[in-house]
Amino acid sequence: MNYASAIESPIGKITILAEDDFVTEITFSEKAIDEIEESALTKKVAAQLAAYFKGELKNFDFPIKQKGTEFQQEVWLNLLSIPYGETTSYAKFSAHHPLAIRAIAAANGKNNIAIVVPCHRVIGSGGKLVGYAGGLWRKQWLLQHEREVSQTGQTEIKF
């Protein structure tokens, strides 16, 4: 069965989609969820996201599963290792597959679990903000928020 919840956040409405045992999507895109009911899992995710936006939560603890190739799954798993409040460049992130930097960037762009699978923490070389499906202004807001909460790095991102 499919379930959904939606929350308002400082960066717009967020829709949470889940099956019985795991979250399949967290998106800024408008989704028709009027006919879909909430579950304990989607309510838990909504509460954790609300705590994240308040600066009270840095690590999420619910099951996720998104559809993708083995390569995409590897990229998404690697995204989870980027610490809260920190960033890495696409070049550094793809160091273990240097010839696949474009494929890694494409897989990053297909991530359907925003914020939790932190693709927003991957930036261009030289600190430039690039490539965020939710919009660069959201990426900037998320990075700024995490740096302020963790008190690491610069407190304002310039681009």
Residues in the chain: 159
Is there a catalytic annotation at residue 119?
yes
Distance CA 78, CA 69 (A): 14
Q: Determine whether 8 is exposed, middle or buried from the number of CB atoms within 10 Å of its CB (0-12, 13-18, 19+).
A: exposed
From the number of C-beta atoms within 10 Å of its C-beta (0-12, 13-18, 19+), residue 37 rates as exposed
Q: What CA–CA distance (Å, rounded) separates 16 from 26?
A: 5
Q: Which residue, 158, 72, 159, is CA-closest to 112?
A: 72
| Distance of alpha carbon 24 from alpha carbon 17, whole angstroms | 6
Catalytic residue among 46, 119, 142, 143: 119
Q: What residues act catalytically?
A: 119
